[in-house]
Amino acid sequence: MSETPTRLGPYEIRGTIGAGGMGVVYLAWDARLHRSVAVKTLHPAFAVDAVARERFLREARAAAAVSHPNVTQIHDIGEDEGRPYFAMEYLEGQSVQELLDERGSIAPDLAVSIARQAAAGLKAAAERGIVHRDVKPSNLFLAKDGTLKVTDFGLAKQLLADSKLTSDGQFFGTPNYISPEQAGGGRADARSDIYSLGATLYEMVSGRPPFLGDSPVSVVMQHLRDPVPPVRQSNPAVPVPVATLIHKMLSKSPSARPQDYDDLIRHLDRTATTISAPAAIIAPQAARRDGADPSVHRPAGRIAAYCILGVSAIAVVGIWMKPGDAASTVPAPAAAPAAAVGRTEPATFRPRGSPRVLSEPAARPDLSIHDSAHEWTPEGMLRIYGRVENTGDAAAEAVIVRVVLMDEGGAQLDSLEVPALPTRLDAGAMGDFEAFFSNPRRKVSILVELHWLS
């Protein structure tokens, strides 16, 4: 049997689309229906391996069981001279991995659209009891018309199946995108695919996977035990709502992620509506120049907080930072002189497009900085720390604290995003945060922002 057949079953082989470790995909012509198709088959060396054959056929059966616009359609399954194959729709376009290889990263609005379509396809699979278990950029194909197709169900598993193919103690998945429970040899469900999709979304907007390492094992261990590096450290242009959702999807505990695809799709849809909106953070000093009472806590972005994102801000101004300062309580915004923050005009809020009016839920979280302080560490680092309090009547999830250093004119010098611990704050609960900066060697102001999912 030749390495490149001229035919497989009724299909005339016209070229090679791509090849992997065990299989190859050919461009073929179906003379019966006068259409091009993609035909996937095993390399001859694996065609005689019973386990490899069964896994290959399981991929075909799993994909064929799902009929959805965001899942590659399987046309036919067959065998030719002992070589199994299946024919599927031929798509023109490129994989998300190829797109990343070209661009480095993808604009957040396109990335969220890709994740939304992938979630819809994976939902259709989950409704058939199928977990993909290998969601990654190379298994998401973006057709020329913008349709996203989930491909390669080679590691897919029926949730209730008693398959010996996955009972040998090995983990299945790709290290850069594997969920902690898969990495630990545990049971994978739809939330495992949601984690892998979150890792894919992380890479799409930042240009790098969540974890990097010298070996696959080191990457897997990071998925198991290490905090996910803030995605906005890699790309500060990632909108906060997108970053917040990514970190929720990448929660170590499956119970802290979106619990199903309906939940995830709601989050993605709500996030998509905020991407093109201007920033909702308005510094308190601007409000004071408008005559507002600076002692009143006025969270910015309240409408967003009702639907997905909660935002509040406090400013600490006019602090002279130098090594050797004793730890001190940061003064409240009301006590700070307005002269310490510059004299820029208040920002004008100009919404783009028609506003969407969303109904207000009966209960919602309300977060604020309970207290905060600063000190210099023995290593000469500026440590800013404090507590976050939820005074609302509902839980806040994926709580992120953004600490910004500004000069006397209000220009940003540096910023960090750190999680509040715990990252979920129930009504009445409190969490802690800390951020470390190198010595700014000048008079600085501090802005602390809170972001959360409600």
For the stretch 313-334, pLDDT in tens is: 444 434 444 444 433 333 333 3
Interacting residues of 1 by C-beta distance below 8 A, sequence separation 6+: 44, 81, 82, 83
Out of 30, 134, 193, 366, pick the active-site residue. Answer: 134
Give residue limits of the domains in the chain: 7-89, 93-274, 283-453
pTM of the model: 0.59
Three-point CA angle 265, 270, 271, nearest 5°: 95
Q: 7-89 adopts what CATH topology? A: Phosphorylase Kinase; domain 1 (3.30.200)
Interacting residues of 235 by C-beta distance below 8 A, sequence separation 6+: 105, 205, 206, 207
Residue 419 preceded by cis peptide, ω within 30? no
134 counts as catalytic: yes
At residue 62, the pLDDT reads 77
The parts of the chain modelled with pLDDT lower than 70 are 1-3, 20-21, 154-173, 274-362, 379
Q: 283-453 adopts what CATH topology? A: Immunoglobulin-like (2.60.40)
Burial call 135-157: b when 16+ CB within 10 Å, e when fewer: bbbbbbbbeeeeebbbbbbbbbb
Burial call 4-22: b when 16+ CB within 10 Å, e when fewer: ebeebbbbbbeeeeeeeee
DSSP label at residue 379: T
Q: Which CA distances in Å does 414 have to 55, 148, 236, 240, 260?
A: 51, 37, 11, 16, 37
Determine whether 54 is exposed, middle or buried from the number of CB atoms within 10 Å of its CB (0-12, 13-18, 19+). middle
pLDDT in tens, 83-100: 888 888 888 889 999 999
Structure token digits, residue 41: 């088959």
Homologous superfamily, domain 93-274: Transferase(Phosphotransferase) domain 1 (1.10.510.10)
> Which DSSP helix (H) or strand (E) runs through 127?
helix 108-127
Beta strands in 117-182 (DSSP E): 130-131, 140-143, 148-150, 157-158
- Ordered strands of the 367-376 beta sheet: 328-329, 367-376, 382-390, 430-437
At residue 114, the pLDDT reads 95
Amino acid at 96: V
At residue 354, the pLDDT reads 52
At residue 166, the pLDDT reads 38
pLDDT in tens, 204-251: 999 999 999 888 889 999 998 888 998 988 898 888 888 889 999 999
pLDDT in tens, 333-378: 333 333 333 333 334 444 445 555 555 556 888 888 877 888 877 7
